[in-house]
Structure 1
C-alpha cells in the first residue's frame, strides 16, 4: 500500500513538473510571437514594451524608437520563427531565463546606394548575420539568432533580450554570469 501511494505521488509530481515546463514554454512562445508580430507590423513602440525593461532603461525607449524608425526607412522585417526554447533556468535575484533560438528575415532597400556602398553594406551584413544576398537593389538577410526570454516578479510575461557575443558586456549588467555559464555563452 505504501509503495502504491509513493508511486502515485511520484507520478503526480513528475506530471506536475512536466506540465509546468510545457506551460512555461508555451508562454514564452506566445510572448515572443507577440513581439515578432508587432515588429512585422512596424508597431515599434508596442514591440519595445516586450524588451527587457532594464535594457530599455539603460538606453531609453525614445533612443530605441529613433533607431528603429531610421532603420525602417530602408528595411522591413520578413518572416520570424522560433526554432527552439530551452528549459527555464531560475536565479534567486534576477528571475527566470530561457534561451530561445530563432530565425528571421529582413530586407534592406539599397536602391539609393552606389554599387561600391552596396557591396560594403552586403559584406557588413554577411559578417553580422551570415546569410545575406543582393537581388534587384534589395539586400535579403536570413539569420539564425538567439535571445533570452526573461520573467521576473516585477512584470507580467516574458521579456526579450537579444543575445549577441558583442552585447554580452552590456547584458551582464542585468543578466547574472551564472545564466551565461548555464547556457554556455
Structure 2
C-alpha cells in the first residue's frame, strides 16, 4: 500500500530504574489535554453507571477515543484491560499497571522557520504508567514508564489522526529506554 501521508516523530521512551516487569493487567484513564507548558487543561470527572460501577470521563475532545484506541492496542500486544472496579478491588499491591494519556492540540511549528505556518503543525502525546498499592495511595505509587512523542505534520485537519496514531505508536515501545526520530506513514 502507498501511504496517504506521513508525519515525523521525535520520540522518547523510558522505564523507571530497577523496573523490569510491567504487570499485564492494566487500567487506562481517559486522555487529558495539555497546555503549551505541559500542564493539564482538563480534569477527570466520574459518574456512577446503572450497574453502580464508577466510570471516569475527560472533557478533552479526544479523551474517550484515545482511551479506547490505547485499550485496543494494549489488548493486541498481550495486556488484559480491566474496568476501574477491578483496579479498586485488587487484593495485591502494585499488580495493575495504570496508564495515563495526555496530548497537546496542534499548533504552528517553530521547528521549520522557513515553512508556511499554515502547512507545518506540531503536536505532542504522552503515555505514562505506574502501579499503586492496594489502597491506591498516590503517595506510594511506583512509576513504570514515560513515553513521549513530538510530531511534525502538514495540515491541521490531520491533527486528530496524528494524535491518535502517536498514542498508539508509543505502545510499541513499552519496556524500551531510548530516544529516536522516524517518519510514520498513515495508510488511512
Which of 1 and 2 has greater Rg?
Answer: 1
Q: Whose helix fraction is larger, Structure 1's or Structure 2's?
A: 1
TM-score, with structure 2 as normaliser: 0.29
Q: Whose strand fraction is larger, Structure 1's or Structure 2's?
A: 2
Choose between structure 1 and 2 for higher RCO, CA contacts under 8 A separated by at least 6 residues: 2
